[in-house]
Amino acid sequence: MGIGRIIRDALSFGDLSRAERLGIALFLVAMAVFPFAVKSGFGRAVAVQFLLYATLGLSWNFIGGYGGQIDLGGAKNVGFGAYGVALPMLWWNAPFWVGLPIGVAAAVLESLVLGLALLRLRGHYFAIGTLAVALVWQELFTFWRWTNGARGVLLPLKPTPDFLYMQFGPVGFHYAALFLFVLSLCWLNWFRKSKLGYELRAIREDEDAAASLGIDVLAAKLKAYCISAAVAAAAGAFYAVYYGYIDPASVMHMDLSVMIAMTAMIGGAGVLWGPVVGAAVLIPLDRYLGAWLGGDALGIDFVIYALIIMLVAAYQPKGVWGIIESLAPARSAQRNEWRDA
Amino acid sequence: MNRGRWAVLSLIVLAALAAVPAAAQPAVRIGVILPLSGPLAPTGQELRRGYELMVDIVNNVHPELAALGLEVAGWEGIPSLGGAKIELVFADSRGDPAIGADMARRLIMEENVVGLTGAYQSGVTQTVATVAERMGVPLVNSDSSSPTLTMLGYQWFWRVTPHDRIFDDDLFNLLDGLVAGQAPGVGPVPKESLSRLAIVAENTEFGVASGDDIRNRLAPERGYDVVDYIQYTSNSPDLTSETTRLVNSGADAYLFVSYVSDAILFMRTLKLLGASPTLIWGQDAGFTNPDFVDAIGPDLHGVLTRSLFISKIGQVKPIAAAINELYRERHGKDLSEESARETLGVQVWAHALQRAGSTDPAALKEALDNLYIPGEQLITPWEGVQFGAGRPGEMNQNIHATGMIGQYQYNPDTGEVQLEIVYPFDFATADMVHPFPGWN
Amino acid sequence: MSVFLEVSIQGVLMGLTYALLALGLTVIFGVMDMVNFAHGEFLMIGMYAAYLTAAHVFPDPLVGVPVAGLIGLVLGALSYRLLVRRLLQGPTIAQIFGTFGLMLFLRYGALAVFGPNLRSAPGGLVVGQRLVLGGLVLDGAKVTAAAGSALLFALIYWFLQRTRVGLGLRATAAHREAARYMGVDTDAMNSIGWAIGGATAGMAGALLVNFYYVSPTVGMVFAMITFTTVALGGFGSVPGAFVAGIIVGVVEAVTAQYFSPQLKLAVIYLVFFLVVLLRPHGLLGAR
């Protein structure tokens, strides 16, 4: 398979319906002009959060959505990416672009080694296994002295905007996040049309049947698991420079793992746009609900969340995207089947 | 319409016109970031009440406080800004560093605040300080105790209250004072009965920073011996093994850096094992929490805790009593450590605005850098507020800030457990109970 | 007495409590191959039931044990009827997130209702009692919980092995379709499984109140160690949960004594991870 073919697949959305292509174009244009249209600092911050979580949700989709392997340990990859940037910057004043590959490589390597073991587990066992692995990493990063332990890492601040260290104003961060998001989207777009993507969908439907068809199940899952780790780690690296401070509790916590999976799940797991829709629902809801309820109604925001999650899980497991699809009868059933197969 | 009515009407119009210039003077907006929801919501609400109390004192006239020498009580706004009132704009961090930073951006860009204050948890304050530094907006902090915050070289961050190293110093001043016979009601204590220390610290930034400081800096400096340093994971289901190790260490003094849930488990297990140290000290946090006091009750008799503020100080400092009284009228309870902290933060903001005579960031920075508030205007036992380098590598830290150490004392007649001040010795409100008397 | 022995005995004691926490979770998994992520919150509700009984009705959390059991039973059955039954029609991911939603709902609902404060039992027959055996000091409340654990395990084991309903539950666990053909009402069995899971979690919570504080987020403290215990013993295996609970308790105590207290959870997860790799269905797992 030539490079040209890969790039063409990654950039081509030709198999999607006209309405979807129009949606994509409108969405990307909206995101591109967002910093000029919206002057609100809070709105901009929410937009960056949205792009970040959408990227993380896309990363989950590789293994969780298309592969049907419920990964509840995504935060460890975010942590590797974030520490990969933060620690070299702290120790050697290494630029972001040196730290980024370190963090991504660490996440991929770890996923490769532990994935060999974890990916032999199925269903709930895999979910609990990934949860436990992520917890061990969090405990270790808290325990170790060389990671600064629980104290976390404060990134050195640059006096002027600096591309090498990825430090600039809110607008710069917006485009950096958008760039990362588009890159991940294209990667997933290639993935869903690739041989690997079809193999994983086959595994999701029936692992034993997939194996009997001659698919190397473990190898396929492992590849997707590593791609997923790489994307999440890149998002983690961005997180580190954006907030300027990381600690195990904020970048490796179970809540983050769950939030990543939830973004994809609420939007629609195993659908290209699922995580984007999920993040578009969850992140503004989260931020504005919190700002709106303020301190007066303790816990109510999470109760509302929980109700949404339970309703989606019980009545529309395909997520918000499933609702959108059911509202758009124009699309032929046959095409749908082809896409989801 | 008769003349009388005309007279009344014109008086009303005149009064309204007179009121207009004052009302037209735009308020000075200050952004406050607090954990108003999430697990620390009750603390956040408590902090908020402190801010609101002092803003009320600054904005409205309070002759009884002004008579005691509290300058801001006579101001009715900021005089140098034409009597402009201070308006607080609250934002909820939920205790999350990322959300805290977002809130800081929102307050600066949308709410047009002239400066910031908050954000309680050191991790959140760190990201908020980064935003403030990048955008050149002053952040006055009176509620975070991580020593690093004033060691980052940040130009736009000032801390009014002490950090954990200052509190650690207080502990060793108390220990040395005990040996020297300075503690009220206790004769000189042989150093051998106090020299072996065991530290129990949760493995968070707060726990590790404080534990390391005691073991690596203070213990060697003051000639004490750390026999065990137990770091544990907070919110563990069980702390029996940690407590057993602590008792087996044979230490004289147990020093705890723990939040409330773990503090409760440790004290219960210590009682169960019948531990008999000569001294138990807690680094604030869990040890000053009302739930902790409820859970342990009379067994707390003799336990020490550091605190920024103990309302009993009113017995020896009238201004503190008067401000506490005002708070009591509103909320039916004494000022807590949390609410007390934030009254100081607002006081500093008021003085800085008055001194700057402008809301221009550079002028405010200049005013904060050169600020001085004399000690008699403060509810704390400090000599004053003045920012500088208290120790090498530090900047914009209030060099006069110190803490207090309180001791829980049980009164069998009333059945109440009271927190009495035992340090600073000059401000003690009761004789100290020493050695630790054991469990009931 | 040697330190090792002392540490091990304390570990066994706490381990029996962990086993008790795991009992309800493993029963539910056994019947229907499903992890109840809200299990820690069932525990929390049981703790509040016992605490409130002790605070307002009779000042001893032990009196709250049947109350908490009953409330847990209703909670479990209701969760199944209103939520889980629908989740079963969806994919695995919907099941995981469905009970996850239930977890969040109960946790933050409790925060809204009870407030964030930590509560402790005002006193009771075994609260704070010391039990001295030779040179060993044991917590009377933990000994009570351990005894309660052994008792409940025996009861549930007997119920599963010796009663008609128990047979139905085991049949459903072994092969749902076959059981249905044989005339077992599998939907009712699921319901009963959830009711038992809820009831045991409630009672476990009540026994915990004797020595543990209550707060809306306390379920989180116990949740991971409970999952680990169940996975270690083999999902769905009742004797497995019993043995695994004790192993977890001892490993935890020994790690804290000889390595570092900070690492005790990491070592438990590591043991779990290794067991899952070597025996994917746990120590005593059936499948």
Q: Search chain C and give the residue with CA nearest B208.
A: C262
Q: Search chain A and give the residue with CA nearest C260.
A: A143
Domain of residue A318, residue span: 3-340
Closest among B255, B301, B262 to C212, alpha carbons compared: B262
Tens-digit pLDDT profile for residues C131-158: 888 778 888 999 999 999 999 999 999 9
Structure tokens at A253: 């916590």
pLDDT attached to residue A51: 94
A46·B102 Cβ contact <8 A: yes
Partners of chain B (3+ Cβ pairs below 8 A): A, C
Closest among A198, A200, A197 to A217, alpha carbons compared: A200
C224·A131 Cβ contact <8 A: yes
CB-closest option in A152, A244, A298 to B37: A298
Q: Search chain A and give the residue with CA nearest C33.
A: A124
In whole angstroms, what is the distance from residue A35 CA to residue A179 CA? Answer: 14
Q: Is A159 in CB contact (< 8 Å) with chain B?
A: no
The answer to the question of residue C266 being in a domain is no
CATH of the domain at A84: 1.10.3470
Q: Is A156 in CB contact (< 8 Å) with chain B?
A: no
Flag whether pLDDT at B95 surpasses 90. no
B97·A301 Cβ contact <8 A: no
Q: Is C117 in CB contact (< 8 Å) with chain A?
A: no
Q: Say whether both B137 and B227 belong to one domain.
A: no
Closest among C236, C231, C238 to C33, alpha carbons compared: C236
Best mutation target, A44, A154, A288, to test chain B (most B CBs within 10 A):
A154
A143·C262 Cβ contact <8 A: yes
CB A55 within 8 A of CB A184: yes
The answer to the question of residue C77 being in a domain is yes
B136-169 burial, b if ≥16 CB within 10 A, otherwise e?
Answer: ebbbbbbbbbbbbbbbbebebbbbbbbbbbbbbb
Tens-digit pLDDT profile for residues A33-85: 888 888 777 788 888 989 999 999 999 999 998 998 989 999 999 999 999 99
Question: Residue B119, preceding bond cis, omega within 30 degrees?
Answer: yes
Question: B19, exposed or middle or buried, with CB in 10 Å at 0-12, 13-18, 19+?
Answer: exposed
Rounded mean pLDDT of B201-215? 87
Partners of chain C (3+ Cβ pairs below 8 A): A, B
Best mutation target, B272, B287, B293, to test chain C (most C CBs within 10 A):
B272
C280·A120 Cβ contact <8 A: yes
The answer to the question of residue C38 being in a domain is yes
Tens-digit pLDDT profile for residues C26-80: 999 888 888 898 999 999 999 999 999 999 999 898 999 999 999 999 999 999 9
Flag whether pLDDT at C286 surpasses 60. no
Name B363's Cβ contacts closer than 8 Å, sequence gap at least 6. Answer: B356, B357
Closest among B86, B95, B85, B87 to B33, alpha carbons compared: B95
In whole angstroms, what is the distance from residue B274 CA to residue B138 CA? Answer: 51
Residue with tokens 């739930």: B291
* pLDDT category of residue B11 using cuts at 50, 70 and 90: low
Q: Say whether both B150 and B50 belong to one domain.
A: yes
Q: Say whether both B198 and B185 belong to one domain.
A: yes
Q: Phi-psi category of B295—alpha, beta or left, where left has phi over 0 and alpha has psi -120 to 50?
A: alpha
Q: Is B105 in CB contact (< 8 Å) with chain A?
A: yes
In whole angstroms, what is the distance from residue C17 CA to residue C205 CA? Answer: 10
Smallest CA–CA distance, residue C111 to chain B, in Å, is 9
Q: Which of A247-261, A283-297, C267-281 is least confident?
A: A283-297
CB-closest option in B41, B240, B295 to C213: B295
C105·A303 Cβ contact <8 A: yes
DSSP collapsed to 3 states, B205-220:
HHHHHHHHHHHHHHHH
Smallest CA–CA distance, residue C277 to chain B, in Å, is 26
| Alpha-carbon separation of residue B129 from A150, B102, B146, B151, B361 (angstroms) | 19, 12, 13, 12, 15
C280·A68 Cβ contact <8 A: no
Best mutation target, C93, C102, C263, to test chain A (most A CBs within 10 A):
C93
Report chain C residues whose CB lies below 8 A from the CB of A133: 269, 273
CB-closest option in C87, C100, C111 to A258: C100
Identify the three-state secondary structure at position A198.
helix
Q: Is A46 in CB contact (< 8 Å) with chain B?
A: yes
| Highest mean pLDDT (candidates A137-146, B361-370, C232-241, C259-268) | B361-370
Tens-digit pLDDT profile for residues A230-288: 999 999 999 999 988 898 988 998 888 988 988 888 888 888 888 999 998 888 887 77
Q: Phi-psi category of B302—alpha, beta or left, where left has phi over 0 and alpha has psi -120 to 50?
A: left
Rounded mean pLDDT of B311-317? 91
In whole angstroms, what is the distance from residue B131 CA to residue B119 CA? Answer: 12
Closest among B205, B260, B197 to B229, alpha carbons compared: B197
Tens-digit pLDDT profile for residues C116-136: 888 888 888 888 888 888 778
Smallest CA–CA distance, residue B269 to chain C, in Å, is 8
pLDDT attached to residue B1: 44
B133·A49 Cβ contact <8 A: no
* pLDDT > 70 fraction of chain C, expressed in percent and rounded: 98
Q: Say whether both B56 and B115 belong to one domain.
A: yes
Report how many domains make up chain C.
1
Report chain B residues whose CB lies below 8 A from the CB of A170: 105
Closest among C122, C121, C124, C120 to C60, alpha carbons compared: C124
The answer to the question of residue B9 being in a domain is no
Tens-digit pLDDT profile for residues B40-61: 777 888 899 999 999 999 999 8
DSSP letter for B184, please. Answer: T
A295·B203 Cβ contact <8 A: no
* pLDDT category of residue B13 using cuts at 50, 70 and 90: low
Q: Phi-psi category of C115—alpha, beta or left, where left has phi over 0 and alpha has psi -120 to 50?
A: left
Flag whether pLDDT at B7 surpasses 70. no
CB-facing half-sphere around the CA of B115: CA atoms within 13 A: 29
CA torsion sign for C73, C77, C79, C80 is: positive
- CA of residue C281 relative to chain centroid, distance: 19
Amino acid making up residue B306: R
Tens-digit pLDDT profile for residues B147-194: 889 998 899 999 999 999 999 999 999 999 999 999 999 989 999 999
Question: Residue B381, preceding bond cis, omega within 30 degrees?
Answer: no
Please report the ipTM that was assigned to this predicted complex: 0.87
Identify the three-state secondary structure at position B112.
coil
Report how many domains make up chain B.
2
Q: Say whether both B53 and B129 belong to one domain.
A: yes
Best mutation target, A44, A140, A151, to test chain B (most B CBs within 10 A):
A151
In whole angstroms, what is the distance from residue A72 CA to residue A138 CA? Answer: 14
Q: Say whether both B35 and B141 belong to one domain.
A: yes
pLDDT attached to residue C43: 96
Q: Say whether both B263 and B233 belong to one domain.
A: yes
A42·B108 Cβ contact <8 A: no
Domain of residue C131, residue span: 3-222
Q: Concatenated DSSP letters for A121-179?
A: S-HHHHHHHHHHHHHHHHHHHHH-TTTTGGG-EEPPPPSS-BTTTTB--HHHHHHHHHH
Task: List phi, psi (to 5°) of A320.
Answer: -60, -35
DSSP letter for A65, please. Answer: I
B240·C118 Cβ contact <8 A: no
In whole angstroms, what is the distance from residue B326 CA to residue A11 CA? Answer: 67
pLDDT attached to residue C287: 47
In whole angstroms, what is the distance from residue A193 CA to residue B61 CA? Answer: 72
Flag whether pLDDT at A224 surpasses 60. yes
The answer to the question of residue C271 being in a domain is no
Smallest CA–CA distance, residue C221 to chain B, in Å, is 6
Structure tokens at A331: 């699309």
CB-closest option in B94, B148, B233 to A290: B94
Q: Is A295 in CB contact (< 8 Å) with chain B?
A: yes
Q: Phi-psi category of C128—alpha, beta or left, where left has phi over 0 and alpha has psi -120 to 50?
A: left
Rounded mean pLDDT of A148-153? 84
Smallest CA–CA distance, residue B25 to chain C, in Å, is 41
pLDDT attached to residue A337: 39
CB-closest option in C87, C109, C277 to A313: C87
* pLDDT > 90 fraction of chain A, expressed in percent and rounded: 39
Domain of residue B263, residue span: 165-307+403-427
B48·A295 Cβ contact <8 A: yes
Rounded mean pLDDT of A318-324? 82
Tens-digit pLDDT profile for residues A252-261: 988 889 889 8
Q: Which of A321-330, C1-10, C22-31, C217-226 is least confident?
A: A321-330
Q: Say whether both B187 and B59 belong to one domain.
A: no
Task: List phi, psi (to 5°) of B405.
Answer: -120, 125
C264·B241 Cβ contact <8 A: yes
pLDDT attached to residue A341: 34
B233·C261 Cβ contact <8 A: yes
Q: Search chain C and give the residue with CA nearest B202.
A: C262
A287·B102 Cβ contact <8 A: yes
Q: Concatenated DSSP letters for A79-106?
A: HHHHHHHHHHHHHH---HHHHHHHHHHH
**Interaxial angle between packed helices A123-143 and C264-278, expressed in degrees from 0 to 180 and rounded to the nearest 10:** 150
CB B128 within 8 A of CB B119: yes
* H or E element at residue B73: none
Q: Search chain B and give the residue with CA nearest C15.
A: B238
The answer to the question of residue B170 being in a domain is yes
N-to-C CA span, chain C: 42
Flag whether pLDDT at C246 surpasses 90. yes
Taking every pair of C-alpha atoms in chain B, what is the biggest distance, in angstroms? 93
Rounded mean pLDDT of A151-179? 84
Best mutation target, B241, B260, B266, to test chain C (most C CBs within 10 A):
B241
Flag whether pLDDT at A336 surpasses 60. no
Which C-chain residues 232-261 have CB contacts (< 8 A) with chain B?
252-253, 256-257, 260-261
Tens-digit pLDDT profile for residues A307-318: 988 998 888 888
CA torsion sign for B103, B104, B110, B115 is: positive
Q: Say whether both B293 and B188 belong to one domain.
A: yes
The answer to the question of residue C275 being in a domain is no
Q: Say whether both B275 and B416 belong to one domain.
A: yes
Q: Say whether both B207 and B269 belong to one domain.
A: yes
Report chain B residues whose CB lies below 8 A from the CB of A139: 233
In whole angstroms, what is the distance from residue B277 CA to residue B412 CA? Answer: 22
Report how many domains make up chain A.
1
Smallest CA–CA distance, residue B132 to chain C, in Å, is 31
Tens-digit pLDDT profile for residues A78-131: 999 999 999 999 999 999 999 999 999 999 999 999 999 889 888 778 888 898
CATH of the domain at B153: 3.40.50.2300
Report chain A residues whose CB lies below 8 A from the CB of B109: 39-42
pLDDT attached to residue C177: 85
Taking every pair of C-alpha atoms in chain A, what is the biggest distance, in angstroms? 60
